[in-house]
């Protein structure tokens, strides 16, 4: 049985009449990488804020380490970054990390290694205010890792970064995940979540909408994109195939979703028998992004 790190039960937060988070229950177990998805304003950051001791819950409860540790004690053992990096601007990277070590009651031994890991070692004595956004974001990751946390919470770690920066952070997250650290990753970059996370939690309007393994969410029969010169004939024939669930015309081809498995070979054979010659023929698996959009519509 995997160890439970965090258990959230019926957690709610309302701002006046507006329910930012509504009766949310989640269990975070050790060894998993969770993707926390949801459109803007779906309550991801509020939910994370509550378990991170900065937002007071309106109702419900949560417990860290099966209730063995108080919230602030538990937070010393984990690492978290939220929305944007917050450090003392007049202090250097090293000074900021030392301060965090003092709060977390961990030794300074890790500082050098973590700064190396995020590629900031040669700027270690520069003040935080002189850093670029990408460097600030990477320093935040170093800070979150400095106590070798059991659980890493990342809320939009690639927000506002350039493509190179996003790529760097993505590689870092993959590396950290491969070292066996439990991660909760809240992000809009769904291909990133799809690559790294093995579990997905989707929030919508403060309510948990979906929870399950990442591959399950995308595990469908796939879909075809088919186009032909005689599109009328194509349409009428496709509609007669029992495996076809839905047809959707998209400018030059039909988007054909399936309700049962149908191989490329089989379909092309069928079409050839009907002497329909295709100009466009692709079978695709839906990405998490597409599924997410369908789910949250």
| Residues near another protein, by CB under 8 A | 49, 52-56, 70, 72-77, 80, 82, 84, 86-89, 100, 103-104, 143
**Which among 117, 128, 111 is positioned nearest to 168, based on CA atoms?**
117
- Determine phi and psi for 36, rounding to 5 degrees: -105, 110
- The C-alpha atoms of residue 183 and residue 217 are separated, in whole angstroms, by 19
Q: How far is the CB of 51 from another protein (least distance, A)?
A: 10
For residue 148, what is the DSSP state? -
Q: How far is the CB of 66 from another protein (least distance, A)?
A: 18
* Residue (19 or 221) nearer to another protein, CB: 19
Q: How far is the CB of 5 from another protein (least distance, A)?
A: 15
Q: How far is the CB of 77 from another protein (least distance, A)?
A: 8
Q: How far is the CB of 148 from another protein (least distance, A)?
A: 14
* Residue (94 or 241) nearer to another protein, CB: 94
Classify burial at 262, counting beta carbons within 10 Å of its beta carbon; exposed 0-12, middle 13-18, buried 19 or more: buried
* Residue (103 or 282) nearer to another protein, CB: 103
Q: How far is the CB of 38 from another protein (least distance, A)?
A: 19
Question: What does DSSP say about strands 182-186 and 151-155: parallel, antiparallel, or unpaired?
Answer: parallel
Q: How far is the CB of 184 from another protein (least distance, A)?
A: 13
The tally of CA atoms less than 13 A away on the side-chain side of residue 196 is 29
* Residue (17 or 261) nearer to another protein, CB: 17
* Residue (25 or 71) nearer to another protein, CB: 71
Contacts 24+ apart (CB under 8 A), 65-72: 65/4, 65/5, 66/4, 66/7
Positive/negative CA dihedral, 136, 142, 146, 149 = positive
- The C-alpha atoms of residue 144 and residue 206 are separated, in whole angstroms, by 26
* Residue (49 or 206) nearer to another protein, CB: 49
The tally of CA atoms less than 13 A away on the side-chain side of residue 253 is 15
* Residue (149 or 286) nearer to another protein, CB: 149
Q: How far is the CB of 84 from another protein (least distance, A)?
A: 8
* Residue (72 or 248) nearer to another protein, CB: 72
Query: Over the range 56-76, which residues count as b (16 or more CB within 10 Å of their CB) and which as e?
Result: ebeebebbbbeeeeeeeebbe
What region does 67 belong to: left with phi over 0, alpha with psi -120 to 50, or beta? left
CA gyration radius for the chain?
24
């Amino acid at each position: 049985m995997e160890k439970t790190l965090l258990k959230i039960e019926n957690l709610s937060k309302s701002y006046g009449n507006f329910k930012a988070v509504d009766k949310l229950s989640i269990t975070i177990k050790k060894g998993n990488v969770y993707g926390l998805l949801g459109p803007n304003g779906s309550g991801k950051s509020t939910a994370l804020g509550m378990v991170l001791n900065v937002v007071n819950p309106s109702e419900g409860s949560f417990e860290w380490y099966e209730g063995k540790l108080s919230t602030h004690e538990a937070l010393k053992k984990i690492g978290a970054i939220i929305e944007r990096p917050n450090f003392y601007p007049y202090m250097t990277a090293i000074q900021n990390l030392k301060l965090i070590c003092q709060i977390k009651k961990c030794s300074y031994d890790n500082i050098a290694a973590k700064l190396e890991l995020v590629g900031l070692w040669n700027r270690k004595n520069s003040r935080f205010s002189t850093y670029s956004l990408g460097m600030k974001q990477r320093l935040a990751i170093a800070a979150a890792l400095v106590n070798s946390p059991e659980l890493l919470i990342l809320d939009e770690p690639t927000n506002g970064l350039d493509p190179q920066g996003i790529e760097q952070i993505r590689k870092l997250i993959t590396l950290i995940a491969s070292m066996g650290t439990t991660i909760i990753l809240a992000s809009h970059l769904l291909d990133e979540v799809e690559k790294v996370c093995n579990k997905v939690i989707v929030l919508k309007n403060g309510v948990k909408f979906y929870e399950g393994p990442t591959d399950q969410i995308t595990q469908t029969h796939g879909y075809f994109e088919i186009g032909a010169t005689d599109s009328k004939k194509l349409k009428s024939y496709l509609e007669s195939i029992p495996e076809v669930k839905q047809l959707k015309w998209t400018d030059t081809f039909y988007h054909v979703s399936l309700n049962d498995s149908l191989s490329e070979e089989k379909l092309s054979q069928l079409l050839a028998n009907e002497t329909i010659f295709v100009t466009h023929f692709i079978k695709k698996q839906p990405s998490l992004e597409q599924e997410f959009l369908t789910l949250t519509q």
